[in-house]
Amino acid sequence: MSKKLSKRQLSVLGDLFSDSELSAEQVLQKHNVSQNLYSKWLSDESYIAEMDSRMQLLDRNSRLLIAKYASLAAAKLIALTDSENQETARKACLDIINLLKDESQKTGSDSAEPILRTPPNINPALAEKLLATIAEQ
């Protein structure tokens, strides 16, 4: 059974995980917590469990935010392939190619496969532009 954390420990954790711009050192100073005491807290299983729980929550929230805006980011990246600035268009094409490579590595498929076939959501003009960018390399 894990022990309860003190109000002071919870307050420090609250500030460490808040949206304030205080550094960890500033949070400890604010709560008058010495490095020695904080080191003891970091060896306390209950304190670490609470810290890990808060980090997991932040990680989940971050992944949710990224998932929420991924399609918008992808659409903007694809729109950049039509930029009048050739360097911007080229970099957007390379970013798309790298994203396709990364995705194929996650799924364990041949890394060249997604580039050699047109993914169903990419129009033929964009696929042609991507292939031209590959050829330039």
Residue 129 in any domain: the answer is yes
Tell me what the pLDDT averaged over the chain comes to: 85
- Host domain of residue 98: 81-136
Same domain, yes or no: 55 and 91: no
Residue whose token pair is 């060896």: 43
Same domain, yes or no: 57 and 89: no
Domain count, the chain: 2
Same domain, yes or no: 55 and 99: no
Mean pLDDT for 86-108 is 83
- The count of other CB atoms within 10 Å of the CB of residue 88 is 13
Same domain, yes or no: 50 and 86: no
DSSP 18-81: SSS---HHHHHHHTT--HHHHHHHHT-HHHHHHHHHHHHHHHHHHHHHHHHHHHHHHHHHHHHT
- Angle 89-90-94 from CA coordinates, rounded to 5°: 115
pLDDT at 27: 96
Residue 18 in any domain: the answer is yes
11-69: pLDDT as tens digits: 999 999 998 899 999 999 999 999 999 999 999 999 999 999 999 999 999 999 999 99
Residue 116 in any domain: the answer is yes
Say if residues 70 and 76 touch (Cβ distance below 8 Å). Answer: no
